Structure 1
Amino acid sequence: MTRAKNLSWIGIVRLGLVQMCLGSIVVLTTSTLNRLMVVELALPAILPGLLVGLHYGIQISRPHWGVLSDATGRRTPWIVLGMAILVLGALGAAFGIPLFNQSFWAALTLSILSYTAIGLGVGASGTSLLALLATTTEPRRRAAAATITWLMMIAGIAITAASVGAMLDPYSPRRLLIIVALVGAGAVVLTSLAVWRVEVGVSAQPSAAKPRFRAALREVWADDAARRFTVFVFLSMTAFFMQELILEPYAGLVFGFTPGESTSLSGAQNGGVFLGMLSVGIAVTGLKIGSLRGWVVAGCLGSAASLGATSAMGQIGPDAPLVLAVVVLGFFNGMFAVAAIGAMMELAGEKAQGQEGTRMGLWGAAQAIAAGFGGLVGAAAADLFRSVMPDATAFGAVFLAEAALFVAAAILAAQVIHETRRETRVVAGE
């Protein structure tokens, strides 16, 4: 595959709009519809939990989408197609909400099909988007590109959650369907406009030989650096998501936080994530401080230390500064996450030789599996530990296990990302 010019800053921001649309649709299905099932419909909380887990599990298809985009040499058609599938899935899931009052099994069937479509859509669009960024972003801009696109995704989540929350009251099924349809249509239109002609002059040409999926995946897996980076992604993302389902219960059971206070705690954590991502982008791209490898390792170790502090505060009691610890945890989470995404683009963009989509698909699948697995393991471990020990000790044990995973991920990242850069210099003759 041959390369042309790199993406401009405007082009990077345009692709960030796609990531913003992805966040906007996904938050509807993982937050708004989840709440409606549990509260308005009085369904068991495990039902939406399993549906959300299904959408993560389906994203094991990401390598397939990566191979397809590698074979065609164009990413934007797959980005738009994936967004359309995602929106159709969201509409189906929204239709399933009122259907539960009429026929549980029909609604469940529709929900399963819809969340399957959601997983396929996120996989197709997200994988192709990251592959396009990896192949067309200048190396010195990769950290900034990762920061811009992920901050825009967070903005999309926040804006959608706030605006939909305001428009949904007073709730009615008809109002829900109208809102989801409008947000979905807007996402498809904005995505189409954002990627319009963005590949002109920057896209890679398809290779003459179009590899079969298994052969392409086997070739990528044979690369030691790519394989070990996959393990790093799985370890770090498992640690990242283990606290997702237990942090608010921890605040309520151990520190006496009200539902509103625990929700605000999650908002404070996301604020820390935002600052961590922004800091890495400014430091690496603007101030030329540190490397992606260094920021990944620092973020992982900082996350481990913050989890240790969060665990220890359970033994102090309600007067402990839990909010401060959670904000710091979010900061280091954001630092490691955006630096890891930048390193991911670096590894895919500099060594892939026409397999950027396949590599991004493999790492995206590892991330999606870790998201579902980490949340499930964290919640199950907390329940198990709480049956044999006090709440503070039980939750603290889970946080310490997360910290250990982050330390292991830091050690692996130091080895893999360093090796990748060294091998790249050798290939380049430096």
Structure 2
Amino acid sequence: MHAPLASPAVTAKQGFGWLAIIRIGLVQAAIGALVMLATTVLNRIMVVELELAAAIPAGLVAWHYAVQLCRPLWGHASDKSAVNGGGSRTLWIIGGLVVLAAGGMLATQATLLMESNFAPAFALAVVAYALIGAGVGAGGTSALALLASGVAPQRRAAAAAVTWIMMVGGIVASAITVGTLLKPYSPGRLVEVAGGLAAVMIAVTVLATFRLEKQAGHFRDAQDDAPAPDLRAALAEIWREPAARRFTIFIFVSMIAFSMQDLILEPFAGLVFGMAPGDSTRTVGQFHQGGILIGMIVAGVGGSAFSARSAGSLRPWVVGGCLASGAALGALGLAAISGPPWPFALNLFVLGFGNGVFAVAAIGSMMGLAGAGETTREGVRMGVWGASQAIAFGLGGLLGAVGLDLARAALGEVGAAFQLVFAVEAAAFVWAGLLAVKATGAGAIRASAAQGKREQFA
């Protein structure tokens, strides 16, 4: 049996209880709600009401992901402030949400100005989406660092499930609410709704984090009072650790596979299965997203139950989720050739279930690795993996859409083109599962930290 990730002597506190975990989930929900405004509502207004090229909002969304490459920098700053004084991660969380909300308001104004004066409005939108990316990076990285440092190892899978389910819930709830409040649509009403959403989400974040940091434990393998290294030294230490290095690559590969499907599932439903727009949206949302939520719940409950016995028990959940996702994508490749007789809804559910299992288990494993550094702390390590995830999300959606267009041009058949893209995605998930074998688990974490320390003094 594996030893626990952190000795009981590491902290005198019990760490976050379930209420505290839910409060961090509220922060994630606020982030999801504010990002939804920019990536969904404003995207639709640019393409439909303003009749702009779809590449314009797509490029702005990709830009906000690119800005998040600075997550390690913000995470490192959060680490240093957390060492120097209690409650400092909270300031980074609230500050990030304020910047995110300001970016959303500015993006709304820029979108409305595009109709009359496009060039300066687009320049303003570039600044606005940069603020959105910065706010997500600073606030989200600090929230995850606080969660990783304050949650006991046996609760990490469940904590990851709770916070991510709440983030998805925040996106869904805000989408329904904003959609209802925008009827009938007018530019003035859009500004009012965006302002109201920003104010409410900032208030939720302030209330959710009030005195929260004082409840955190300090579940780290290294001494908690060790000084945080400078950013260059921190990044070098992370890259020296085999498990941390493999985990960074795993996050990148798995998130590319995960995001490649985002922009092509609905076109697949329409082109191969002949579904109308409303039917495809409802089917993909109900079965794929429903499968993700159920997969998250199962991995959260099951991972936590088995984590009480073995700290390395999240590894089979990560690997199993990746392999299930790969198998479901391979099945969609067969569906691309067979067409309507295929049980499309069931296939989507299995794909979503696998996605949800691997996502929650990977986040739980990430929390374990975040506290395993010799001198590096949770913020900069979460920042590195957050940056890897952000660039993979931006790149994956583009690769899926462009890959489909290239495959259709080269093969001349819609079904064969989808089959090729799904096969590439499936192979990426299998590769991610193989990477996860060595990148996750308590033994890998301890061996990684020890190997990194030996290489430092070699």
Q: TM-score, with normalisation over the residues of structure 1?
A: 0.95
Report the equivalent of 2:19: 10
Report the equivalent of 1:85: 99
- Alignment of 1:333 with 2:355, yes or no, is yes
Residues 162-201 of structure 1 aligned to structure 2 (within 5 Å): 162-201=176-215
Higher mean Cα deviation, 94-103 or 59-68? 94-103
CA shift, 1:254, in A, is 1.4
Tell me if structure 1 keeps the 8 A contact 2:241–2:448: no
Tell me if structure 2 keeps the 8 A contact 1:3–1:202: no
Residues 231-242 of structure 1 aligned to structure 2 (within 5 Å): 231-242=249-260
Report the equivalent of 2:424: 401
Q: What secondary structure does 1:200 align onto?
A: helix
Residues 368-379 of structure 1 aligned to structure 2 (within 5 Å): 368-379=390-401
Pair 53,78 (structure 1): closer, same or farther in 2 beyond 3 Å:
same
Cα offsets for 1:314-364 (capped at 9, x unmatched): 111123221211111001000000000000001112345451111100000
Report the equivalent of 2:444: 420
Distance in 2, Cα, partners of 1:187 & 1:257: 36
Distance in 2, Cα, partners of 1:391 & 1:405: 22
- Alignment of 1:266 with 2:284, yes or no, is yes
- Alignment of 1:218 with 2:236, yes or no, is yes
CA shift, 1:404, in A, is 0.3
Match of 2:274 among 232, 252, 256: 256
Letter in 1 for 2:19: I
Pair 351,420 (structure 1): closer, same or farther in 2 beyond 3 Å:
farther
Letter in 2 for 1:126: G
Instruction: State the number of aligned residues.
Output: 426
Tell me if structure 2 keeps the 8 A contact 1:71–1:207: no
Cα offsets for 1:108-139 (capped at 9, x unmatched): 01110000000000000110011111111000
Report the equivalent of 1:295: 317
Letter in 2 for 1:250: F
Q: What secondary structure does 2:229 align onto?
A: coil
Pair 352,140 (structure 1): closer, same or farther in 2 beyond 3 Å:
farther
Letter in 2 for 1:34: N
Residues 306-317 of structure 1 aligned to structure 2 (within 5 Å): 306-317=328-339
Cα offsets for 1:179-201 (capped at 9, x unmatched): 11111111111101101111115
Pair 334,208 (structure 1): closer, same or farther in 2 beyond 3 Å:
closer
CA shift, 1:222, in A, is 1.7
Determine what percentage of the aligned residue pairs are the same residue.
Answer: 48
Distance in 2, Cα, partners of 1:11 & 1:338: 18
Calculate the aligned-residue CA RMSD, in Å: 1.9
Pair 148,352 (structure 1): closer, same or farther in 2 beyond 3 Å:
farther
- Alignment of 1:56 with 2:75, yes or no, is no
Tell me if structure 2 keeps the 8 A contact 1:86–1:119: yes
Report the equivalent of 2:454: none
Tell me if structure 1 keeps the 8 A contact 2:90–2:209: yes
Tell me if structure 2 keeps the 8 A contact 1:4–1:202: no
CA shift, 1:266, in A, is 2.7
Distance in 2, Cα, partners of 1:105 & 1:310: 42
Cα offsets for 1:210-244 (capped at 9, x unmatched): 53322221222222211111000000000000111
Pair 3,59 (structure 1): closer, same or farther in 2 beyond 3 Å:
farther
Tell me if structure 1 keeps the 8 A contact 2:107–2:124: yes
Distance in 1, Cα, partners of 2:62 & 2:224: 34
Letter in 2 for 1:222: R
Q: What secondary structure does 1:211 align onto?
A: coil
Report the equivalent of 2:216: 202
Query: Which stretches in structure 2 are left out of the alignment for 5+ residues?
Result: 1-9, 83-87, 452-458
Residues 64-103 of structure 1 aligned to structure 2 (within 5 Å): 64-73=73-82, 74-103=88-117
Tell me if structure 2 keeps the 8 A contact 1:71–1:206: no
Letter in 1 for 2:29: M
Q: What secondary structure does 1:405 align onto?
A: helix
Report the equivalent of 2:298: 279
Match of 1:34 among 34, 43, 61: 43
Report the equivalent of 2:138: 124
CA shift, 1:421, in A, is 4.4
Distance in 2, Cα, partners of 1:54 & 1:215: 28
Report the equivalent of 1:304: 326
Letter in 1 for 2:356: G
Q: What secondary structure does 1:30 align onto?
A: helix
Cα offsets for 1:17-39 (capped at 9, x unmatched): 00010111111111111011000
Pair 44,413 (structure 1): closer, same or farther in 2 beyond 3 Å:
same
Higher mean Cα deviation, 312-321 or 402-411? 312-321
Tell me if structure 2 keeps the 8 A contact 1:135–1:349: yes
Higher mean Cα deviation, 125-134 or 416-425? 416-425
